[in-house]
Amino acid sequence: MQVNQVRADSNRVFELRVYHAVPGKLPALESRFRDMTSKLLAKHDLNAVGYWVSTDASAWDNTFIFILAHSSREDAKKNWDAMWVDPAFQEVVKSEQTDKPAGKVESMYMRPTDFSPMK
């Protein structure tokens, strides 16, 4: 029996981002994304698939999770680089210097499997 590996026709990748909010700051982090960051992401072609918070009081408490879809890993880098230097985003960063809503931020790039309904 021969097994052929099937690959997606594109280089599309997804980026999983997990923000660990400072205890008590999750509502502020949600507000920041609702009111500012989501608009800046869209402006720089950082396409959000969705945003989530945990419903369980567990180790995932105080976490804010979102997934971005990128046409390629190279486009992801180019778009993030453009966002980091955007004066509007720099204002967000500056405003959080003394009262950061998030501590640790984790990011992972993922490719869809050949059987994934989302490619």
**49-83, pLDDT tens digit by residue?**
999 998 877 777 889 999 999 999 999 999 999 99
Mean pLDDT of 84-94: 94
CA distance 9 to 31: 37
How many domains is the chain partitioned into structurally? 1
**What proportion of the chain, given as a percentage, has pLDDT over 90?**
67
In a domain, residue 79? The reply is no
In a domain, residue 85? The reply is no
In a domain, residue 15? The reply is yes
Q: Is the distance from CB of 31 to CB of 101 less than 8 angstroms?
A: no
In a domain, residue 39? The reply is yes
At residue 57, the pLDDT reads 73
In a domain, residue 4? The reply is no
At residue 38, the pLDDT reads 96
Asked whether residue 12 carries a pLDDT value surpassing 50, the answer given is yes
Give the domain extent around 37: 10-71+102-112
In a domain, residue 14? The reply is yes
Q: Is the distance from CB of 106 to CB of 17 less than 8 angstroms?
A: yes
CB neighbour burial string for 67-95, b if at least 16 within 10 angstroms, e if fewer: bbbbeeeeebeebbeebeeeeebeeeeee
Q: What is the pLDDT of residues 94-115, one digit of tens each?
A: 988 888 888 889 999 999 999 9
CATH assignment of the domain containing 46: 3.30.70.100
Asked whether residue 33 carries a pLDDT value surpassing 50, the answer given is yes
At residue 58, the pLDDT reads 78
In a domain, residue 42? The reply is yes
Q: Is the distance from CB of 40 to CB of 68 less than 8 angstroms?
A: no
